[in-house]
């Protein structure tokens, strides 16, 4: 009986005695209130919360789209044709709205060309804030179409310029041709072309700032 009691007591361990646990270091029981029992003297690591990655809203495409819109609008408001090229005594400079209004009497499509370009600029600004840069190709195509229409109808521009000079009593030594119209173009037209190129480039870039 005594041997049985001794063996029973040997098999019993106190509550705080270290017990084997395959999931702890060295078979030691983890005590959450005792500093240094986790990892041989190191405190239990605490989970860290990583800050969410913030995506930059400003992109190269956005900046180029807005820049192209501003350049296009400035060119639209600036004079595009200078009549002093035809005669030194004539000091007349017209922007695209004025040209469209006057040539619209001869060719009706000139009445809508400047307004289509203006609407396209507004669309370009709106689509610049969309995360799909290629959508801006739609207003750019509209602007390019207006440029093509102007080039195709350059003969009516020459006719309008000749009629205007005749009304002013200016006698021209030679006929105003399409080539002379191109030579009389002012920076406003070239600025619009530059703005169109910038806007076209903005459709194909996605680099973040």
- The pLDDT tens digits for 188-199 are 999 999 999 999
Please give the backbone phi and psi of residue 94, each rounded to the nearest 5 degrees, phi first.
Answer: -120, 140
122/196 Cα distance (integer angstroms): 13
> Which tens digit of pLDDT belongs to each residue from 80-110?
998 888 888 788 899 999 999 999 888 889 9
What letter would DSSP give residue 82?
E
In 3D, which of 103, 112, 109, 76 has the Cα closest to residue 164?
103
Arithmetic mean of pLDDT, 9-18: 50
Please check whether residues 138 and 190 belong to one and the same domain: yes
What letter would DSSP give residue 93?
E
In 3D, which of 177, 132, 174 has the Cα closest to residue 156?
177
| pLDDT band (50, 70, 90) for residue 34 | low
In 3D, which of 147, 151, 159, 135 has the Cα closest to residue 196?
147
The answer to whether position 88 is within a domain reads yes
The answer to whether position 54 is within a domain reads no
Which SS3 state, helix, strand or coil, does residue 59 take?
strand
pLDDT of 124 strictly over 50: yes
pLDDT of 53 strictly over 50: yes
The answer to whether position 112 is within a domain reads yes
34: domain range?
Answer: 1-44
Tell me the whole-structure pTM to 2 decimals: 0.70
Please check whether residues 97 and 175 belong to one and the same domain: yes
Q: Which residue has the higher pLDDT, 118 or 12?
A: 118
Please check whether residues 111 and 176 belong to one and the same domain: yes
Q: What is the pLDDT of residue 171?
A: 72
Q: What is the pLDDT of residue 9?
A: 55
DSSP element (H, E) containing 182: helix 178-183
Q: Domain count of the chain?
A: 2
User: Tokens at residue 200, please?
Assistant: 């076209």
Q: What is the pLDDT of residue 96?
A: 94
| pLDDT band (50, 70, 90) for residue 30 | low
């Amino acid at each position: 009986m005594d041997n049985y009691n001794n063996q029973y007591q040997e098999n019993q361990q106190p509550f705080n005695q270290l017990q084997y646990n395959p999931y702890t270091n060295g078979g030691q029981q983890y005590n959450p209130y005792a500093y240094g029992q986790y990892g041989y003297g190191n405190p239990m690591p605490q989970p860290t919360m990583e800050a969410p990655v913030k995506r930059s809203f400003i992109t190269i495409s956005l900046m180029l789209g807005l820049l192209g819109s501003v350049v296009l609008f400035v060119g639209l408001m600036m004079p595009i044709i200078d009549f002093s090229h035809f005669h030194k005594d004539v000091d007349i400079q017209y922007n695209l709205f004025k040209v469209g209004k006057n040539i619209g009497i001869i060719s009706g499509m000139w009445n809508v060309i400047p307004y289509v370009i203006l609407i396209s600029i507004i669309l370009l600004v709106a689509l610049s804030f969309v995360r799909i840069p290629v959508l801006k190709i739609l207003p750019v195509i509209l602007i390019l179409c207006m440029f093509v229409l102007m080039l195709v109808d350059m003969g009516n521009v020459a006719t309008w310029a000749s009629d205007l000079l005749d009304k002013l009593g200016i006698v021209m030594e030679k006929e105003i041709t399409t080539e002379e119209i191109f030579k009389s173009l002012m920076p406003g037209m070239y600025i619009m072309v530059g703005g169109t190129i910038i806007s076209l480039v903005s459709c194909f870039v996605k680099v973040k700032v």
